[in-house]
Amino acid sequence: MKPALLVLAAGMGSRYGGLKQLDGVGPCGETIMDYSVFDAVRAGFGKVVFVIRKHFREDFERQIVSKYKNIIDVELVEQEMDKLPEGFTLNPEREKPWGTGHATLMAAEAIDTPFAVINADDFYGAQSFKVLADFLKEQEGETGKYSMVGFFLNKTLSESGEVSRGICSVNEEHYLTTVEEHHKVAEKNGTITGIGMDGESHVLDYNAYASMNMWGFTPDLFKYGKELFIDFLEENSNETKKEFYIPFIVNSLIGNGKASVKVLSSPDKWFGVTYKEDRPAVIEKLKEMTESGLYPSPLFQ
């Protein structure tokens, strides 16, 4: 069994100023997604599923999918705001998708093996994919045995502005107990703060584990996730901005005893392109990794 890789690539990149998932930042114009797929193939993943938006499907197929021919099986699924469970209708005033949890559910018909979920615009590193793949390969036929790769919060901030991060609580056995989404996370005068789901500002631990949306799941997540999304919509179907996040699903399943989440560690350093100003540093880091021999150039011959 080879696990699948689910790449969340439907984001609009409003803070970045465009479709950052299609932006070439490698020495030969590679995207960050290209490095994720390259590392995933090396780690033993057998299929990649991209969650995209319908309006840029043609560009995505031409610029991205064509690179992976004969490299790995690829499937595209679309996240649109009106893709809701039966009985629910879209508020016409809503302008943004329903979030990472909804995006993940779009792949329910495309994945039937243990699978990883990642963001398209985050660089996670080869070892991160290796430890996650090794975990997933052991979960064939299992249910509720999930995982995530944790990164230290102080290593995940942007120098260009505020970010959103899932702040994790972990027990002594390295299992996740809760993860809470925080917005407007930034460091100032040696202190990291963020706005929690309660709407209040909190001081955050430098060495707290941050979820960078690098998860490992078994396919039962789709069933549970759909049930929770229906519950969410029953309270929030008329909302114009509220989102249904992966951590909401995870917290619910941990809380009712239906799942455990092993927190995996990796020596790799995360980096990404939240803002346009992040781009030069990302280009330089990928150039250095290529010159040191960690990656070939071009990635795909």
- Give me the sign of the Cα torsion angle 161, 166, 172, 175: negative
Q: What is the pLDDT of residues 115-129, one digit of tens each?
A: 999 999 899 999 999
Rg of the chain's alpha carbons, rounded to an integer? 18
Residues 6+ away with beta carbon under 8 Å from 124 = 36, 39, 118, 149, 212, 214, 266, 268, 270
Q: Give the structural domain span for 12.
A: 4-291
CATH classification of the domain holding 222: 3.90.550.10
Tell if the pTM clears 0.85, that is, is over it: yes
Residue 176: how many CA atoms within 13 Å on its side-chain side?
Answer: 33
- Residue 1 is predicted with a pLDDT of 85
In a domain, 140, yes or no: yes
Distance CA 286, CA 282 (A): 6
- Residue 129 is predicted with a pLDDT of 97
Range 269-287 average pLDDT: 88
Closest CA to 231 of 49, 58, 101, 80: 101
Total domain count, the chain: 1
- Give the model's confidence band at 20: pLDDT under 50 very low, under 70 low, under 90 confident, else very high: low
In a domain, 141, yes or no: yes
In a domain, 277, yes or no: yes
* pLDDT over 90 percentage in the chain: 67
Report how far apart the first and last C-alpha atoms of the chain are (Å, whole number). Answer: 26
- Residue 62 is predicted with a pLDDT of 85
- Residue 63 is predicted with a pLDDT of 82
In a domain, 136, yes or no: yes
- Give the model's confidence band at 159: pLDDT under 50 very low, under 70 low, under 90 confident, else very high: confident
Q: Does residue 17 surpass a pLDDT of 50?
A: no
In a domain, 100, yes or no: yes
In a domain, 296, yes or no: no
In a domain, 297, yes or no: no
Q: What is the pLDDT of residues 179-197, one digit of tens each?
A: 988 999 999 988 999 999 8
